[in-house]
Structure 1
Amino acid sequence: MRIFHRIPELRAHLARFDRPAFVPTMGNLHAGHLALVQQARPLGDTTVASIFVNRLQFLPHEDFDSYPRTFETDCAQLEAAGCEVLFAPSEPELYPQPQRYKVQPPAELADMLEGQFRPGFFTGVCTVVMKLFQIVFGQSKGGGHAVFGQKDYQQWLVLRQMVQQFALPVTVHGAPTERAPDGLALSSRNAYLSAAERAEAVQLNRALRSLAQALADEKWDGAGGAGDLAAQEQQAVAQLNARGWQTDYLTVRRCSDLQPPAATELAGCRTGQDSQAGQLLALGAARLGRTRLIDNWVF
C-alpha cells in the first residue's frame, strides 16, 4: 500500500488511473470501515482510502482533540483489506489557510435530526468531502466511485445529493451497517464505552427495531396518523431514557428524503430485516454516559 501525505504526490500517483474507488475515513478503523474498502475494490481500477480528522465537522464542545488516532494500526488493517493507496494529509496540508469557502447543504435536509443537534456538522462534512473528491478524482478520466456507510444515513443522503447537484463525476455508494453479534452498530466512538455501557449500548438498536415493529403492528386507516406516530416515538424515547440514556431523537422517516411519512406509507410498512429494500427507517441518536451513539433501522 502506498501512503501519501501531500496532495501533489497523491495526484501524480493517481494520474495513471482512470476510475479510482474511494473510502474517506477519520481513522480509528473497525470492521465497518474495512467492509467499505472491500465493497470499493471491484468498483475502480485502484482503491484509495483517506484518514483525516476533520475539524470543520466538530462543534467546540465535541471530541476533536480526544478523537482516537490509531494511524499505524489503521495502516495495517487497510493494507490487509486490499487498500492500495492511503491519503493521510496533515491539517495544514488540507487547510493551508482558513477554509472560508464552504459547501452549504439545503436546510430542509441538513438542519434536522443530526443537523439540529450538531449545527454546522453537514457543512463541515460536505466541505471536506468536496475537497477530497477534487483531490482524488480531479484527474481521473472516467470519474470514480465513493463508498460511505449507511449507519450515518443522513450523511450518506446529503453527500449523494451534493454529488448530483454539482454534477460531479462520482458515483456514491451506500454500504449496509456492520454490526456486532448482539446488534450494536460498529462505530469508532464505541471505544469510549465502559464495559457496563457496552453491554447497555445495544438497547439503542433494540429501541429502533421495537419502534419499527410497533408501527408495523399499528392499524393505519390512511386518515391522519401523525398523532399516533408521534405518540409511538415519544414512548420509545421515554423507555430509552428510563434506562439512563439522554436521547436526542428517536423517529421514523422516509428513506428517500428523511421527511415524516404519511399515514398511507405507514400502512404499508413491514419489518423483519435491516436492508435497503424498505421505504421507511427508524433513526436514533442518544448519549450513554459521555458517548453519543447513532443508529438506524430500515423497514
Structure 2
Amino acid sequence: MIKLFASDMDGTLLDQNHELNQTTADAVKALQVSGVEFIISTGRDYQSARNFLATYHIDCAMINLNGAQIFDATGQLIDESPLINTTTQQVLDYLHQEKLAYSLTTRQNFYLSNKQDYINHMMQSHEHLDELTIAQVTDKIKMTLDAYDYQLTDSNPVFKLMIISDDAPTLEKARHYLETFPDLDITSSGPGNLEITHIEAQKGLALAKYLAAKHYTFEETLTIGDSLNDRSMLSMCPNSYAMDNASDEVKTMAAHIAPSNVENGVATIIYQLISKQSEEV
C-alpha cells in the first residue's frame, strides 16, 4: 500500500511551459483525498515552490533545494543541510577566477552573479514560455540580489550553488574541480547548469529523513522525476517512475516509465494508483 507520493516539479509535475495544468492539479487533490500523502521534491527554494502551488490551492510537505531543506505541510522546517562554509568559499573563489556565472541560495535570499547570463539561460531552457511570462520573469530576476554583495557567515550559509554556462567543456571542467570536494553533491536539472549542494542534500537522502519522521518505508513510497537531480530518490525507491521525457540515464535508475509531462504523466500514474489501491481495500 502506497502512503506517500513524491514528485519532482519542473519536467515532471509541470508541463513544457513550466505550468501546472488543471488535469494534474485535480489529480493531486484526488490523491490527497484518497488518503495518500503528496510531497514535492524540487530544486526550487521553499518560497518559490510554495507560492507556485498555492495558486492551485495545493498544500503539501516539500523537499527543497535538491534536499538541502525539508518542510512539513504547515511550512515548519524539519531538517536542513547547508554547504560547509570553507568549501563554499573555495568554490566561490574558483567561480570568480574562472569568471563563471552562478546563482546562490541562502535561507532568505537568492543571489545572481550575472543577471543577463541568467536571463539568457532562462530564455533558452524555457523556450516555450510566452513573451509576457518571459518579461515578468526577467523583471523579477533584475530585482534579485547581486552575488558579489553576499557575505558568507556561520549564520547565513549557502544551501545551493548553481553554475550557469552553455559551454559544455566549461561545465565539465568545473565538474572535475568540484568532484575533488568529498562534502559536495554535484548534479544538474537540465542542459547548461551544474547544481551544487552538501553531500547529504540529495533528494533521496532527504526523502529517507522524511520517511523516518513519518514512520513510512520506501516500499510504501512512490517517486517520480525526470532529471539527474532526481536520481537518488528514483534509485532508492522500488516504486519509482522516470518520465518518458527523461534522459536514458535517468530512465535506467527507475523501475518504471511514466508518460511524458506533456501527456500528463503524473496524473496518469496518480489515477492508476488510486484505482489499484481502491481495489485492494
TM-score scaled by length of structure 1: 0.30
Please say which structure displays the higher CA radius of gyration: 1
**Larger RCO (CA under 8 A, 6+ residues apart):** 2
TM-score scaled by length of structure 2: 0.32
